[in-house]
Amino acid sequence: MIPHLLRILLAQIAQLLSGASVRWVDCQPDTCQRIYFANHTSHLDAVVIWSSLPMAVRALTRPVAAKDYWAAGPIRRYLSQEVFNALLIDRQDIKVHQTPIQEILDAIADRHSLILFPEGGRSSGEEVGEFKSGLYHLARRRPDLELIPVYLDNMNRILPRGEFLPVPLLTRITFGPPMWLEQGEHKQAFLERARAAVVRLRDL
Amino acid sequence: MDAVAWGLMGGVVALLIIATVVVHLLRRRLPDQLNPALLDSISSRLRAWWLLLAGLAGALMLGKTATVMLFFLISFWTLREFITVAPTRPGDHRALFWVFVLATPAQYLLVAFAQYELFAILIPVYAMLFLHARIALSNDPVQFLERTAKIQIGLMICVYCLSYTPALLTALPLDPKGYSPNTRLLFFFVLITQLNDALQFAWSQLPSRHYLVPNINPTRTWEGLLGGTASVTLLGALLSWATPFGSSWVAAGMALAVALAGFAGGITMSAIKRDRGVKDYGTLVEGHSGVLDRLDSLCFAAPVFFHLTKVYFHYFPYVPS
């Protein structure tokens, strides 16, 4: 009950703080299983994307977040696990037999969608960085998932890297058309294509 | 609010209902003969006026503090629209934080407590000094003057100038028995600025079009400026019964000053938008106007109207009827 109310409250606060205008370009909100992948410039990114989804979609969508940040301290742990239902990934301790990819696939099963930041960390915001290979491995193991590129505008000015006080500017979230891993497509080519799909949304 | 203010507000509601019905009918009956972009523009203005009227009526009914609060929220929103389109650098982050959470609320607190001597200088002097020093401390000299100028002008227009509107209620003592003449003053001022926007827009639709500043705003014409200003001046004279000004000449003169300042506000904000390469402030989405697009004339006219009124009542004290 309390996590549910907090979820609604925090989504409202995030929308108000970021003043987000949400655009769906050649794409509609849907409860089917998807991976939303976006550029990453601030700690608020996942919450802002998550809160811009319609409530029914939001309930099924789990952000992927770094364990070293989101499991530190009782408040962050409570928020990430009880409220946002985040999937916490250990960035430091990756084992051969228990890869994060397998953990993620087990966790979403045939029900949940994911919010993912393939740059692997926050960038300064001027350029979208190179994508790490996680998105490719997920797409290869689960070719049925729709991959939705997302571009977040201005978040790097609201809460830049290294700052802890947000400036309440306006942001814009653009969801793009779904894409899939093509048959026989190479890792590098696919990651480049995915990155280009995100960058393209910036100038639309 | 007294009977006169209620009457005026009722008139505005009637006017808005008629306009909304007419636009709705035009859309239904003559879809092919009219320019859809023009109708969309009118609809978006009407929506904004309904919102403004609802907010203002509610705030005025609740009292002075609520009205100051309403304009604080408007300032906060327009400032975020302004800074969003103004380019800033990471080094400005901390300064911007203080602009939003310290300078803006402080200005409105001073307005609420009617500290005229302080709110008249807080942003032009002290916020200016602080802003420049704070950005210098960020150790990033690139385009220092451009960055500070952009933030300072945003603060001046969106916060400082706009705060003179609720100051009409708090910082202009007219009647020791209450502030109902101030309510009428504020309502008259907002009504005239909005009528001025509407009439300049309407006169600009004449077939004869002599453009004023086509590089800055391709819709402003001499016809719009002259026709709009003349008709607003006339309306000001006709509405003088609802103002605390003793004569219709004074009310007409005030309306004329508001019309000219409002026009100046409109083209100045257009120039800033042109420079930044955006069509509207606000949502960052093409085709949706922001709050600042609707209130640019109000921001410019507010200090002009406040000071003219202050000087006028200094020499010709208000006589309660």
pLDDT, tens only, A15-62: 887 777 888 999 999 889 999 999 998 888 888 999 999 989 998 999
CB contact under 8 A, A124 and B284: no
Nearest CA of chain A to the CA of B88: how many Å?
A: 8
- State whether residue B97 sits within 8 Å of chain A by CB: yes
Written out in words, the top-level CATH class of the domain with range A2-202 is alpha beta
- The arithmetic mean of pLDDT across residues B252-258, rounded, is 97
Cα pseudo-dihedral A58, A64, A67, A68, rounded to 10? -110
- The arithmetic mean of pLDDT across residues B274-286, rounded, is 69
Examine residue B33 and state whether it is found in any structural domain, yes or no. yes
Q: Residues, chain B, total?
A: 321
Examine residue B82 and state whether it is found in any structural domain, yes or no. yes
Which of A17, A151, A155, A170 to substitute to test the interface with B, most B CBs within 10 Å?
A: A170
Domain spans, chain A: 2-202
Which residue is it, tokens 């004569």? B247
Residue range(s) defining the domain that contains residue B190: 3-315
> Which residues, in sequence order, are CB contacts of B260 under 8 Å at separation 6+?
B229
Provide the ipTM: 0.82
**Cα(A6)–Cα(A27) distance, rounded to whole angstroms?**
29
Examine residue B72 and state whether it is found in any structural domain, yes or no. yes
State residue B177's pLDDT score: 84
**Cα(A157)–Cα(A170) distance, rounded to whole angstroms?**
9
CB contact under 8 A, B80 and A172: no
Examine residue B105 and state whether it is found in any structural domain, yes or no. yes
**Residue A174 in 3-state DSSP?**
strand
- State whether residue B90 sits within 8 Å of chain A by CB: yes
**Residue A66 in 3-state DSSP?**
strand
Measured from the Cβ of residue B253, the count of other Cβ atoms closer than 10 Å reads 17
A96 band by pLDDT with thresholds 50, 70 and 90: low
- Name which residue leads in pLDDT, B291 or B129: B129
**Cα(A151)–Cα(A128) distance, rounded to whole angstroms?**
10
* Token duo for residue B27: 């859309």
Amino acid at B209: R
**Residue A35 in 3-state DSSP?**
strand
Question: Distance between alpha carbon A53 and the CA centroid of its chain, in Å?
Answer: 12
> Structural domain tally of chain B?
1
Examine residue B304 and state whether it is found in any structural domain, yes or no. yes
**Residue A116 in 3-state DSSP?**
strand
**Residue A146 in 3-state DSSP?**
strand
* Token duo for residue A77: 């742990």
Examine residue B321 and state whether it is found in any structural domain, yes or no. no
A81 pLDDT above the threshold of 70? yes
Residues of A in contact with B88 (CB under 8 A): 157
Ranges A167-176, A180-189, B278-287: which has the least confidence = B278-287
- State whether residue A154 sits within 8 Å of chain B by CB: yes
Are A175 and A37 spatial neighbours (Cβ–Cβ below 8 Å)?
no
Ranges B65-74, B94-103, B254-263, B312-321: which has the least confidence = B312-321
- Look over chain B and give the mean of its residue pLDDT values, rounded to a whole number: 90
Cβ-Cβ contacts under 8 Å between A and B: the total is 42
State residue A97's pLDDT score: 63
Which member of B93, B100, B284 has the closest CB to residue A170? B284
Which member of B96, B282, B283 has the closest CB to residue A167? B96
Task: Return phi, psi of residue B152, to 5°.
Answer: -65, -40
Q: pLDDT digit string (tens) for B81-110?
A: 999 888 888 889 999 999 999 999 999 999
Amino acid at A152: L
- The arithmetic mean of pLDDT across residues B105-119, rounded, is 96
**Cα(B8)–Cα(B15) distance, rounded to whole angstroms?**
11
The end-to-end CA distance of chain B, in Å, is: 15
Are B92 and B130 spatial neighbours (Cβ–Cβ below 8 Å)?
no
- Transcribe B235-277 into DSSP letters: HHHHTGGGSS-SSHHHHHHHHHHHHHHHHHHHHHHHHHHHHHT
